[in-house]
Amino acid sequence: MEGFERFQGTAAEDEAFKYALAVSCVIHLCILVPLSIANAHHIRKVTKAIEVKYQRLKLQQKEISRPVPKNTIAKEDKGNRTQVALGREVNPVPFAKDVSKLSESRFELPKKLPAEVVKLEVKRKVSVPPLKSEKINNPIYQDYYQIVRGRIKDRAYANYSKLDSGEVYLTFVIVSDGTLKQVKIIDERTKANEYLKTISLKSIQESMPFPPFPPNLSYPELSFNVVISFELEE
């Protein structure tokens, strides 16, 4: 009987121990589960907070320029060219010759220019010399004839532009009112080219109108002969 009671006491203690253990487990579970959930949430927050992102950055390469010493020139290998540092004073190019050391005779100008380069100044000269007339010896006629020759000479000189020389013999008729009636070149007594012949005719025609005849020259018309001489003088 005593052994049975002891067995029952032991069983009761075991039941109490199991009950206490179960209660303890439930209490621990109630405490640990919320803590584990809170810790998991905290860890997730911490992990998100320390998320690292990488970005690509373009690094600019800075050129390192070496200091160029003053009064220096860097030579290139090709073309005998030189590259001078900007903003710095440099010495004269090494391959430039010193002009002061050259012989003075190399810079002497020739005292006399070659004959082919000497410029000659040529002057044009026009003359209308008087011709003696056996038919009319009247002084009034001679004075009028001189006026006519002067006008022709001025126009011939104005038209004379080339370097040609020669003599053109012409005959022409003037009416009493000063009008030119006709003009002709006497080829037999002319020594000139076509250019001089042309400007001679043109000069007489451009001299019109001539002055009317003086009262003492009571002629309806008069004939005149002239020689226009074209000369070149050096």
Distance from C-alpha of 130 to C-alpha of 137, rounded to nearest angstrom? 13
The most confident of the ranges 41-45, 108-112, 130-134, 151-155 is 151-155
Distance from C-alpha of 10 to C-alpha of 20, rounded to nearest angstrom? 15
Flag the least confident range among 8-22, 156-170, 214-228.
Answer: 8-22
At residue 87, the pLDDT reads: 47
Distance from C-alpha of 232 to C-alpha of 234, rounded to nearest angstrom? 7
8-state DSSP, 77 = S
At residue 159, the pLDDT reads: 95
According to DSSP, the residues that pair with 174 across neighbouring strands are: 180, 222
Give Cα separations from 74 to 63, 68, 86, 96, 105 (angstroms): 19, 9, 12, 15, 35
Flag the least confident range among 34-43, 169-178, 224-233.
Answer: 34-43
Q: Identify the CATH class of 123-233.
A: alpha beta
Q: What residue segments make up the domains of the chain, in order of their start? A: 1-39, 123-233
Q: In 10-165, where do the E strands start and end?
A: 73-75, 82-84, 123-127
At residue 77, the pLDDT reads: 45
Model pTM greater than 0.75? no
More confident residue, 133 or 28: 28
Flag the least confident range among 60-64, 92-96, 97-101.
Answer: 92-96
pLDDT digits (tens, 9 = 90+) for 97-111: 555 555 555 555 556
Can you list the pairs that 84-88 forms with residues at least 24 positions away whose Cβ atoms lie under 8 Å? Answer: none
Task: Categorize the per-residue pLDDT at 14 as very low, low, confident or very high, splitting at 50, 70 and 90.
Answer: confident
